[in-house]
Amino acid sequence: MLLDGKTILITAAGQGIGAASARACAQAGARVIATDVNADLLAGLRDDRNIETRQLDVTDAGAIGALAADLPDLDGLFNCAGVVHHGSVLDLTDDDWAFALDLNVTAMVRMCRAFVPGLLRQADKTGSAAILNMSSMASSVKGFPNRTAYGATKAAVIGLTKAIAADFVTRNLRCNALCPGTVDTPSLRGRIAAAADPVQAERDFIARQPMGRLANVDDLTPTVVHLLSDGSRFVTGQAVLVDGGVTI
């Protein structure tokens, strides 16, 4: 199997893309460490004997350091956690901006700082290790209204990814970013429900997808598995679009 013998840590694995990725990686043979700030959400993954769950708030540098010290060296790290701030630059408070930057970017920096030494040790041993950072196509690659903080922070994820890829390209540690289109997840459903007209909001989200439908989480998981596997061993520093044709 594609991920046989690999240990992979995933953040924000309690629901949505992170949870589906944890299941897909386990099914592909990995030992998965599924983490989330909300420990209750992780309960749904505990029936899979290849998945171990750990509570982790990726904005908590101390908790990240403690977890890294407690775990064996990883073969793969999927930094999936992120938040969508809805609004233009005129709606954005300093607090909103600081929160988006902290969760979408700084948390990834902290995770990489804590786990890259172990990933490099594994890469020395096995010849391969991989990081996957969750970006998006929305306003980081193609502009959309009301995605200022989101687009700017997800664009920063692409820059961070290229920088890490360049720093470790000779050490067998790869780093790529995933840029999905609009995916049907609990957080998307929350954004639709919070809109002034939820029916229209759902239509608008679908309308920006040229295939005429939202992605589901399993439209993404094969690419997640691929980018964490040795099948993508010559792919690094890339912003990989899985967007149903939005950016054609």
Q: Please list the active-site residues.
A: 150
Which pair of structure tokens corresponds to residue 96?
Answer: 């909103």
* Binding of ligand NAD by 14 (CB under 6 A): yes
Please identify, using beta-carbon distances, which residue of 80 and 123 lies nearer to ligand NAD. 80
* Binding of ligand NAD by 12 (CB under 6 A): yes
**Of positions 48, 57, 96, 230, contacts ligand NAD by CB under 6 A:** 57
d(CA 165, CA 173) in angstroms, rounded, equals 7
**How many residues lie near ligand NAD (CB under 6 A)?**
29
Residue among 197, 191, 157, 156 nearest 175 (CA): 157
Stretch that binds ligand NAD, among 2-10, 85-93, 184-192, 222-230 (CB under 6 A): 184-192
Stretch that binds ligand NAD, among 32-40, 61-69, 108-116, 226-234 (CB under 6 A): 32-40
Stretch that binds ligand NAD, among 25-33, 81-89, 121-129, 192-200 (CB under 6 A): 81-89
**Of positions 74, 131, 164, 183, contacts ligand NAD by CB under 6 A:** 183
Please identify, using beta-carbon distances, which residue of 173 and 192 lies nearer to ligand NAD. 192
Q: What is the dihedral of CA 177, 79, 140, 229, to 10 degrees?
A: 20
Stretch that binds ligand NAD, among 26-34, 67-75, 77-85, 124-132 (CB under 6 A): 77-85
* Binding of ligand NAD by 16 (CB under 6 A): yes
**Of positions 36, 52, 202, 219, contacts ligand NAD by CB under 6 A:** 36
Please identify, using beta-carbon distances, which residue of 165 and 179 lies nearer to ligand NAD. 179
Task: Work out how close the CB of 213 gets to ligand NAD at its nearest, in angstroms, rounded to a whole number.
Answer: 13
Chain residues in the site for ligand NAD (CB under 6 A): 11-12, 14-18, 36-38, 41, 56-59, 80-82, 84, 103, 134, 136, 180, 182-183, 185-188
